[in-house]
Amino acid sequence: MLIILGSIPTAIIGFTIYKLTDNYNFGIKAVGGFFLITSIFLFLVDRFQFNMRKQGNLLKRSEGIGVLDALFIGSAQGVAVFPGISRSGFTVGSAILRKIDPKDAAKFSFLLSIPAIGGAFLLEFIHKNMTFEGKFLVPMFISFIVGYAAIHIFIKILTSKRLIYFTLYLLIISIISLLFL
């Protein structure tokens, strides 16, 4: 139920942004700006985690993911339709800001991605009058496997307290995109 609930704000926000930017071609500088936004957001999440640990507070909540959490995380996923905004970074980061354990946050993020990515694919499929061919199955399967592996790597980064390195990577990419490309 929480995946369905979290998918509602994703669909509303994502579809609205999609319609508003449908004919807009995002250049490399815009993508660099969105990388910068992701970097700043993840830096703030990293500092939040650090402060929680410093105070001796655990991120794990006994009640798990609730209705407001699902809506908040789903809203973050909707914003991630912009190129350069990390979907998993925004959803997991939003969950951490809600004091959800990083492992639970990453699992929920992965499950929440399935209807969002499927819906985005269907929207593009219909919008571009494409016909379904078997050649779509292999890339979809590879994307699923890579996404699943990326979530496991992301969990290790989150639990090893190394989110700052990913933040720095995004910051460097954004600076290169904004200044040199």
CA–CA separation, 28 and 10 (whole Å): 25
Reported as a pLDDT band with limits 50, 70 and 90, residue 130 is: low
Tokens of 49: 């985690």
Residue holding tokens 């979530």?
Answer: 151
The predicted pLDDT at position 114 comes to 86
Rounded to two decimals, the pTM is: 0.80
Task: At 86, list the tokens.
Answer: 């990390």
Distance of alpha carbon 34 from alpha carbon 56, whole angstroms: 33
Residue 163 has a pLDDT of 75
The pLDDT > 90 percentage for the chain reads 31
The stretch 97-109 carries a mean pLDDT of 87
Burial class (CB within 10 angstroms; exposed 0-12, middle 13-18, buried 19+) of 103: middle
For residue range 42-74, list pLDDT tens digits in order.
Answer: 999 988 887 887 777 666 665 678 999 999 999
Please give the C-alpha separations between residue 122 and each of 4, 54, 127, 130, 131, in angstroms, as whole numbers. 17, 45, 8, 10, 11
**In the chain, where are the structural domains located?**
2-179
Contacts of 60 (CB under 8 A, 6+ apart): 100, 101, 104
